Amino acid sequence: MRKIKIATLVLLTIISIRSEAQECKFILTGTIIDPHETTGLNDARLYIEEINKQVYADSLGFFAVSNLCKGSYHLTFNHSSCEEKKLFINLMSDTLIIVELEHHGHFLQSVTIEGTRTGSEGASQNIIRRNEIEKHSGEPLATLLEQVTGVSSFKNGSGIAKPIINGLSGNRISILNNGLNQAGQQWGSDHAPEIDPFSVEQIKVIKGVDVIPYGGNSLGGIVLLEPSSIPKDPHLHGAQLASFQTNGNLVAYSSKLEISKKKWDVRWTLGGKIGGDRSTPDYYLSNTGLKELSSSVFLIKDKPHQSSRIYLSVFNTELGILRGSHIGNVTDLQEAITKDVPFFTKDNFSYQIESPEQKVGHYLSKYSFQKEINKHFVEFIVAGQINHRREYDVRRSGRSSTPALDLFMQSYSAEIKDKLTLGKSNLIYGLQTRYNINNNVEGTGIFPLIPNYQLYNVGTYMQWKNVHNRISYELGIRYDKNYFIVSYQTKDIPKTIEQRSHDFDNYNFAGGLKYKVASPWILRLNLGRAQRSPEINELYSSGLHQAVAGIEEGNINLIPEKSLKVMLTSTTNLSHRFIFEASAYYQQISDYIYLEPQKDYRLTIRGAFPLFVYKQTDARIYGIDLLAKIDFTDHISWVNRASLIKSKDVLTNSGIPNIPPHQLNSSIHYTINKLEAVKNIDIELGNKYVFKRTDLQPEQDFLASPDAYYLMNARLQFDCALLKQSVNFSLQVDNLLNNTYRDYLNRLRYFSDEEGINVKFGIKMSF
Amino acid sequence: MKTIGSYKSILLLILLTSLIQACQQDPLPVNESELITTLTYTLTSPIADSVVLTFEDLDGDGGKNPVLKVTGPLQANTTYSGKLILLNQSVVPMDTISNEIIAEANDHQFFFLASNPLGIIFQYDDADSNGRPIGVKTKLQTSTVGLGKLKIILRHMPDKNALHVVSGDITNASGETDIEVEFDLEVK
């Protein structure tokens, strides 16, 4: 059964007390506790669906319900500052249960239950749980991750966003869809990860030693999306979430159904969204609509000490790109920069998506088998992924309907890992192998931006954790071999296909230490040395990057980047009333791969273009992330966050492009629990201030970094019972003051302002 | 365990068959159908020698640098008929792109910008279905003697209704640049 505990993040102990009680004379007693304090939770409550009864626990978290009949019950546990927990029990006798409710933990690092149980103590993880994910209905994955201090996103309009973790993005971070390295064209700065975040139960942002089991090449960290276990409840349960946004008239829907049958536990998710042209305070952003449809099926078959799991998912999206951002040459770009309103801006709203646009399909299948043998917990995984990306440009003679870029990638992987528990230590080790094949689909009529290639990867790792009362430590080591076989097209006439291979070895080491200075004060130190070998675009990309009016050229002589990162985190937590966390990091990357602007322009028939070649330099990135949360009363709390980051190219002494500017966030929350008809009222008022980047040289960009800006947002949400169902309503307003601004991390800043006010309505029904 | 074994073998079978599918692709060089490798601007006059301006970049962006040629000087105070031909010589048989431009005349317009000292005047000598200029055919009138530059620009999806665009002023034309080449020009 241990595997279930690990996956569900619920610790539940049911102790049956023998009783001679009659029918409908059973007593259910229990305690609702905070797992970190092992004390009862004040002000917690329990709802029993079958008898429609709300029960309040006492100040120590104790509750008792008498006169219950024999039978099965659905229980829901609530506490204002905790994640809601649902349980299904079969009442056969008087029963005592102990329920652990996890505090809203996304603010803090390392608050994983898995961690407290298995000793993932030196690690640095942030977890975004289901209810936080749901608040961001309609948004892409990357903007949803922005609630984690130190995470920002690189955008190409609102619909296309990529996460940045402590200043690093793209090839330097890995996105794991269901534990699998997302296969696809992740190198592209305008290629968003093809994942529906609403199909998963939790998302983790992992830095430090815990990155080791998931793959090399992640200098910045990883984003791990995971479905949770399916509750052992024989009845059909589910949730439906629908939202509407006024900006872009975007409608989003997602649903989840789950049931536990004798043989299989099943979960089915379905999600979709459709949106039209977004708007700034002054004009429409023409052709920025999007469509998305995704679905997944998760099957679990549990037997004593073993479990088989099958996960299948499909994801399809169509994303419009601002028409005015499609330009022909440098003159066009410079003209676009001077325009207040982008070219091709229409006066009316439309759902229609025309070129330039992207259509992407992602298909994933995964089978895993887990078995517990004595102190070993062994998992075997095989998986396959298909990613088909088509990008359309504005072209002549009806060619706009022919993709200008058409890439078809297949990825197959197999993995075996073992977790060995030895007293207070545990050892995780494994072997992974992956084969990727990426082909340009014929018929684009355009010289391919990246060539066809095959990638063979073999990785092996070991991670050791040791947990003691005051000091815990962990060590990790990983080796990866990446072998590329590339079939590239020559530039000289006659054009032919030639083959070349590249062989890279990457070594990663990491260590973590956690020291409990005093009960409310914990210090964590992480130290890691990581290596990242160049990716296909850095080696081979060739041709005009129309979006940025530059010609990019790969460099086959690149060697792996070597990073050394140290991170120190201090967490003070005074009984959840006052939380202060400071995390400072310093990362030094030698042979940092970047695009160097060349002195000479390259002459083409479309004029002279600046030439950018992938080169290597030495880089430093350092910063500090701060979080302070104060609960003034049980109802009012104040959350403040700051992310300060500096970067330096050691050779040129200037800043590094695409590193986020400093940022401050502050929000006030007002929560009321005990109103009769309406529950869990939560009112939030948030502020955000983003600074201007001043450390860049004029020759590094066509346009200086945009000015600093300030945004305000507000949110109201509450639960109420409608037709015996629990319904959650929310109303959110982003950019409340309808400010006009441009964001440094949005590539469209050359062309257009950011979105204006956006009012979002959401409704969620659970049954 | 038996059932699990069979699931596994089915999955592996799916994986293997797709692998075999994957490996069959034999890449061929891309047929770059949209590429413009060559621009020739031929200027003829009954009273002067013809002048041909050529921009040629047979391997497209990157690779070898493009070659620009002007066969000789223009004669002062002379009216020339100009004709533009765009070719894609990277495909066999070679493709005449200017025919695509004429077929989509409403969505295209050439602009001719001569540097000031030359005092050259351009006039469009063709029209799209709305009666607005394309620029494949032009009339060019020289005046004084001098050295200068001539820039030829092709805009895709320009706003031909914008102010002065029909008379060849690019300022308000917007659209995307498909061609922008500049020649050294002498008027004798």
Chosen from A602, A605, A609, A613 to mutate, greatest number of chain B CBs within 10 A: A605
Q: Give CA–CA dist A187/A539, Å, rounded.
A: 11
Q: How confident is residue A3, by pLDDT bands cut at 50, 70 and 90?
A: very low
Whether residues B156 and A606 touch (CB distance < 8 A) is answered with no
* Residue whose token pair is 């100009």: B82
- State the pLDDT at residue A596: 84
What sign does the dihedral B100-B105-B106-B107 (CA atoms) show? Answer: positive
Whether residues A445 and B64 touch (CB distance < 8 A) is answered with no
> What is chain A's percent helix, strand, coil content, to nearest 5?
10, 55, 35
* Mean pLDDT, residues A25-30 taken together: 84
Note if the bond before A140 is cis, omega within 30 degrees.
no
Q: Which helix (H) or strand (E) holds A538?
A: helix A536-540
Q: How do beta strands A85-91 and A173-177 pair?
A: unpaired
Amino acid (1-letter code) at residue A463? Q
- State the pLDDT at residue A55: 84
Q: Give CA–CA dist A629/A576, Å, rounded.
A: 8
ipTM: 0.81
CB-count exposure of residue A56 (10 Å: 0-12, 13-18, 19+) = exposed
CA of A368: which chain B residue's CA is closest?
A: B8
> Per-residue pLDDT for A723 more than 80?
no
Of B114 and A328, which is predicted with more confidence? Answer: B114
Q: ∠ CA B57-B59-B62 to the nearest 5 degrees?
A: 90
Span A477-501, pLDDT tens digits: 999 999 999 998 887 777 788 899 9
Q: Which helix (H) or strand (E) holds A341?
A: none
Q: Single out the residue of A27, A19, A61, A65 nearest to residue A41, CA to CA.
A: A61
- Min distance B35 CA to chain A CA atoms (Å): 8
Residues 91-130 of B with CB under 8 A from A: 97, 100-101, 103-104, 107
Span A221-247, pLDDT tens digits: 899 998 877 888 888 988 999 999 999
Nearest to A328 among B25, B55, B178 (CB): B178
Whether residues A412 and B19 touch (CB distance < 8 A) is answered with yes
Q: ∠ CA A106-A47-A578 to the nearest 5 degrees?
A: 30
> Per-residue pLDDT for A20 more than 50?
no
Question: By percentage, how much of chain A surpasses pLDDT 70?
Answer: 92
Whether residues B61 and A604 touch (CB distance < 8 A) is answered with yes
- Min distance B167 CA to chain A CA atoms (Å): 20
Nearest to A492 among B34, B61, B63 (CB): B63
* Residue whose token pair is 């050529």: B54
> Per-residue pLDDT for A54 more than 90?
no
Whether residues A396 and B19 touch (CB distance < 8 A) is answered with no
Residues of A within 8 A of B31 (CB-CB) are 445
Span B25-74, pLDDT tens digits: 556 777 777 888 999 999 999 999 999 999 998 888 777 888 999 999 99
Whether residues A437 and B23 touch (CB distance < 8 A) is answered with yes
> Per-residue pLDDT for A743 more than 60?
yes
DSSP label of B168: T
Whether residues A445 and B32 touch (CB distance < 8 A) is answered with yes
Span A298-350, pLDDT tens digits: 999 988 888 999 999 999 999 999 988 888 788 888 888 888 898 889 999 99
* Mean pLDDT, residues A621-642 taken together: 91
Residues of A within 8 A of B157 (CB-CB) are 344, 394
Of A43 and A188, which is predicted with more confidence? Answer: A188
Whether residues B30 and A440 touch (CB distance < 8 A) is answered with yes
Q: Give CA–CA dist A381/A154, Å, rounded.
A: 32
Q: How confident is residue A15, by pLDDT bands cut at 50, 70 and 90?
A: very low
Q: Give CA–CA dist B172/A611, Å, rounded.
A: 28
Nearest to A384 among B15, B33, B60 (CB): B15
CB-CB contact of A494 with A518 (8 Å): no
- Min distance A447 CA to chain B CA atoms (Å): 6
Structure tokens at B39: 């621009």
- Separation in Å, CA A666 to CA A21, A146, A566, A583: 54, 13, 27, 18
Whether residues A442 and B28 touch (CB distance < 8 A) is answered with yes
CA of B156: which chain A residue's CA is closest?
A: A396
Q: Give CA–CA dist B81/B61, Å, rounded.
A: 30
- State the pLDDT at residue A119: 34
What sign does the dihedral A652-A655-A656-A657 (CA atoms) show? Answer: negative
Q: Which helix (H) or strand (E) holds A624?
A: strand A607-631
- The length of chain A, given as a count of residues: 767
Q: Please name the residues in contact with B72: beta carbons below 8 A apart, sequence gap of 6 or more.
A: B49, B51
CA of A411: which chain B residue's CA is closest?
A: B19
Query: Sheet containing B146-156: which strands, arranged edge to edge?
Result: B108-114, B146-156, B176-187
- Min distance A228 CA to chain B CA atoms (Å): 21
Structure tokens at B66: 């493009």
- State the pLDDT at residue A546: 62
Residues of B within 8 A of A344 (CB-CB) are 157, 174
Whether residues A344 and B18 touch (CB distance < 8 A) is answered with no
Q: How do beta strands A290-303 and A39-40 pair?
A: unpaired
> Per-residue pLDDT for A413 more than 70?
yes
> Per-residue pLDDT for B23 more than 60?
no
CA of B35: which chain A residue's CA is closest?
A: A446
Out of A31-45, A270-284, A530-544, which region has the weakest mean confidence (pLDDT)?
A31-45
Q: Is B25 on the interface with A (CB under 8 A)?
A: yes
> Per-residue pLDDT for A99 more than 60?
yes
Whether residues B103 and A382 touch (CB distance < 8 A) is answered with no
Residues of A within 8 A of B151 (CB-CB) are none
Q: Give CA–CA dist A134/A144, Å, rounded.
A: 9
Q: Which helix (H) or strand (E) holds A258?
A: strand A250-260
Whether residues B59 and A365 touch (CB distance < 8 A) is answered with no
Residues of A within 8 A of B29 (CB-CB) are 489, 494-497
Q: How do beta strands A357-373 and A306-320 pair?
A: antiparallel
Chosen from B39, B88, B177 to mutate, greatest number of chain A CBs within 10 A: B177
Whether residues A489 and B29 touch (CB distance < 8 A) is answered with yes
Q: Which helix (H) or strand (E) holds A130?
A: helix A130-134
CB-CB contact of A316 with A295 (8 Å): no
DSSP label of A16: E
Q: Give CA–CA dist A536/A526, Å, rounded.
A: 30
3-class SS letters over A278-299: EECCCCEECCCCEEEEEEEEEE
What sign does the dihedral A675-A678-A680-A681 (CA atoms) show? Answer: negative
Q: Give CA–CA dist B170/B179, Å, rounded.
A: 13
- State the pLDDT at residue A106: 40
CA of A329: which chain B residue's CA is closest?
A: B177
What pTM value is reported for the model?
0.85
Q: Is B179 on the interface with A (CB under 8 A)?
A: yes
> For all residues of chain A together, what is the average pLDDT?
85
- State the pLDDT at residue A636: 92
Whether residues A399 and B174 touch (CB distance < 8 A) is answered with no
> What is chain B's percent helix, strand, coil content, to nearest 5?
20, 40, 45
Residues 54-93 of B with CB under 8 A from A: 55, 57-66, 90
Q: How confident is residue B7, by pLDDT bands cut at 50, 70 and 90?
A: low
Whether residues A446 and B8 touch (CB distance < 8 A) is answered with no
Q: Give CA–CA dist B143/B120, Å, rounded.
A: 6
Q: Give CA–CA dist A640/A649, Å, rounded.
A: 31
Structure tokens at A673: 């629990």
- The length of chain B, given as a count of residues: 188
Q: Give CA–CA dist A37/A584, Å, rounded.
A: 27
- Min distance B76 CA to chain A CA atoms (Å): 28
Amino acid (1-letter code) at residue A529? R
Q: Give CA–CA dist A99/A97, Å, rounded.
A: 6
Structure tokens at A94: 């008087």
Of B157 and B17, which is predicted with more confidence? Answer: B157
Residues 130-169 of B with CB under 8 A from A: 155-157
Task: Decide: helix, strand or coil at residue B97.
Answer: helix
Residues of B within 8 A of A263 (CB-CB) are none
Q: Is B23 on the interface with A (CB under 8 A)?
A: yes
Of A402 and A105, which is predicted with more confidence? Answer: A402
Residues of A within 8 A of B8 (CB-CB) are 367, 369, 382
Q: Give CA–CA dist A532/A510, Å, rounded.
A: 14
Whether residues A605 and B104 touch (CB distance < 8 A) is answered with no
Task: Decide: helix, strand or coil at residue A731.
Answer: strand
Of A29 and A525, which is predicted with more confidence? Answer: A525
Q: Please name the residues in contact with B125: beta carbons below 8 A apart, sequence gap of 6 or more.
A: B81, B82, B137, B138, B139
Q: Give CA–CA dist A509/A564, Å, rounded.
A: 10
Q: Give CA–CA dist B51/A634, Å, rounded.
A: 87
